[in-house]
Chains A and B, each alone.
Chain A
């Protein structure tokens, strides 16, 4: 009797899952068109903005970093500056044009590839993606205030509270 019920429920579950997969694909197709449209707008904004620079607090003794080192820190491979001091990367908001351009221009990957990279680290319990701030102004403040912090902003936002370590 119980076996019969389990069998019926099992059959039902299979059908529910198959229907869910179908629905998910349909939803995905619609969502994709919106996402692609967004991505195009992002790309057209790119030409209007000035370039992106990597910054640390002016209190930090690090004066310059290589691209490989910036990559290592932002992809979680390295948790320290070359001088041995702890490095804490900070990202701009998910989906922002600045973050997209930093990912592509400095890290050499699309935002989705960076996300896939972090999902590998996250779901194996080895670490977490960097925290993020909402804007260039917030980034400036967060980096200036913390000797361990490293972030990136559009060049026109740079002031004395931070030092440019990669451009």
Chain B
């Protein structure tokens, strides 16, 4: 039930992509898919490099060459019964947080076009928080091997179960659009189960030939899993001072605002792109932010690119309980609660910078191979996007080499 379907699915997708040439959209139904086969290696063998909050392991301490960090496969069915109605379902198979490969519905929605300017969607819909966030899993569509973690990890939610309204306006030589959305999401990430019971926000986009401007705002009301709740209960058991600590850090039920802006210029043979994002969980963990700038130049079928990214925010320390205020017998409990809180603070904001040098190569019209080398440095006492450290070890950075083959059909 665990691995065989996944291997089968990968193989099926590969065979289908090889067999099915580009299929023009002539009919009512269309069937498409995408996938990535990859392998990543990290020079740091005492910690895992985890550039994705939905993974629990990565290259480094757990694996010398990790083929499951970037590998995934997806199929999509869409139906267009009329010019006004469009339905789509996409199912993705990738390694999940629990190490299993249970397929997940990435989106499933119905879009109704009210007029050329207005359309509405309902169901599980893509959230376009960043310029590339709604296709961040489609390796073939991305200019990089994977999106810059310093920015894209700040808000890892890719979809929302709800509705959105899209307004599009033609300004003569440019096109302007605004999307407003409302919904909810549930996901499992490094810090446990995270439930966003309410997500609302809007995205705005301006396209003028090769120039794209993008800005978005989103706010979510978050509910954290049992691991967090146990911790707050633990603190609260220490009386008023403990309750105060829990109150200061517990973000449950508070609004977490997030804002992002980006600019891209892509005349065809080269591109530059820059994005910035900043978020907050409404507690004393402080805010976190990140930005990147990236550029590439096409030489025949090969396109080398260079990216610089940096993430900041969060505190270096936490204000937990003072062990001296309590009986000596409780000291171990206090110390474990405090270190748990520090760990949360550290994984909340990853201060680090990455310089990525990569190249993508159009092997075939529907196949792109990519090679990327990342030089990652953690900053200001942060563990960055590393985890699963060897006991007592603090990673300072790593060089990561990754290879992928992306395909679509």
Q: Contact residues of A with B, CB < 8 Å?
A: 6, 9-10, 12-14, 16-18, 20-21, 24-25, 28-29, 31-32, 35-36, 66, 68, 71-72, 77-80, 84, 86, 91, 94-95, 108-113, 115-116, 119-120, 122-132
Bound complex: CA A127 to CA B109 (Å): 12
Q: How many A-B residue pairs have CB under 8 A?
A: 148
User: Is B399 positioned at the interface, with any CB of A under 8 Å from its CB?
Assistant: no
Q: A84-B116, A123-B76 are in contact. Are A21 and B67 (CB under 8 A)?
A: yes
A35 and B363 form a contact (CB under 8 A): yes
Q: Which residues on B sit within 8 Å (CB–CB) of A13? A: 3, 6-7
Q: List B contacts of A91 (CB < 8 A).
A: 24
Whether A86 touches B267, Cβ cut-off 8 Å, given contacts A18-B65, A119-B141, is no
The distance in angstroms between the C-alpha atoms of A14 and B41, with both chains bound, is 13
Give the contacts of B68-125 with A (CB-CB under 8 A). Answer: 68, 71, 74, 76, 78, 80, 83, 86, 88, 90, 99, 107, 109, 111, 116, 125
Contact B173 A14 (CB under 8 A): no
Contact B301 A119 (CB under 8 A): no
Q: Within the assembled complex, what's the spacing in Å between the Cα atoms of A7 and B7?
A: 15
Q: Would you call B140 an interface residue if the criterion is a C-beta within 8 Å of the partner chain's C-beta atoms?
A: yes
A77 near B403: Cβ-Cβ < 8 Å: no
Min CB gap A108→B, angstroms: 5
Cβ–Cβ contact A94 & B109, under 8 A:
no
Provide a sorted-by-A list of 27 A–B residue pairs whose CB atoms are within 8 angstroms.
Answer: A6-B2, A10-B2, A14-B66, A14-B67, A16-B7, A28-B363, A28-B364, A31-B363, A32-B361, A78-B170, A78-B175, A80-B170, A109-B268, A110-B268, A112-B368, A115-B22, A116-B141, A119-B135, A120-B135, A122-B32, A123-B32, A123-B34, A123-B74, A124-B126, A125-B76, A125-B111, A131-B26
A71, A119, A127 interface centre (most CB from chain B within 10 Å)? A119
Tell me, rounded to whole Å, the shortest Cβ–Cβ distance linking B140 to chain A. Answer: 6
Contact present for A130 and B22 (CB under 8 Å): no
B362 interface hit (Cβ, 8 Å): yes
Closest residue of B by beta carbon distance from A18: B67
